[in-house]
Amino acid sequence: MAPKWRAYVSGDDAFGFSNGVRVASFWELKQALLTLPEDVINNNVGEGKNDIAAWVESVLGDKEMAEEMRKYSHRWGMIVALERQMMRTLELPDYVARRWMRKVDRPFSFMSGEVVGSIEDLGQMLEKLSDETIAFHCERYPNDMAVWVVDIVGDYELAELLNEATSRMQMKRFVDDHLEMLKEAAE
């Protein structure tokens, strides 16, 4: 069975945006939220309404996800909520999860001198480091931490999320959620 976020509904049940774009899954919804013009999204989300969350609940049948999406009146909050859900439901082989959680031989060194050798260490360090230190490493594209995560740790999923993150706390949330998913997959 496909993960919930990859499951598609029939064409009649797809969500339709005002510009004619239709989405039939969590995955397509995320892509639409990333690419549609702001005014198109605002036709469905705003003061006292969130048609997208209503569709997620009534058609996709995910009340918890709908409640998360109702907390936001802008695209980026809903995208983050969807990404967190996707990470939690990703079906990852246990051996891959264990490999991504291990300590590596080549740790990452922050400009402030701190060193991390695993994704778990990175999550803990993101709690402690200053926004300025993180900003230094994020100035490049892809950012230094994302490069280390993909090249040394091997976790391309988390690297992509770190590259898209816009703040230290968003990175921390992504790492924590990703670790939760990895631990579940490793069991």
Residues in the chain: 187
pLDDT, one tens digit per residue, over 93-119 is: 788 889 999 999 999 999 999 999 999
Tens of pLDDT along 36-59?
Answer: 999 999 999 988 889 999 999 999
Contact between 127 and 114 under an 8 Å Cβ cutoff? The reply is: no
Q: Under 8 Å CB-to-CB from 133, ≥6 apart: which residues? A: 110, 111, 112
Model-level pTM? 0.58
Tokens 């995320």 locate to: 30
Phi, psi angle pair for 88, to nearest 5°: -70, -25
Residue % of the chain over a pLDDT of 90? 50
pLDDT tens-digit readout, 79-92: 878 877 776 666 67
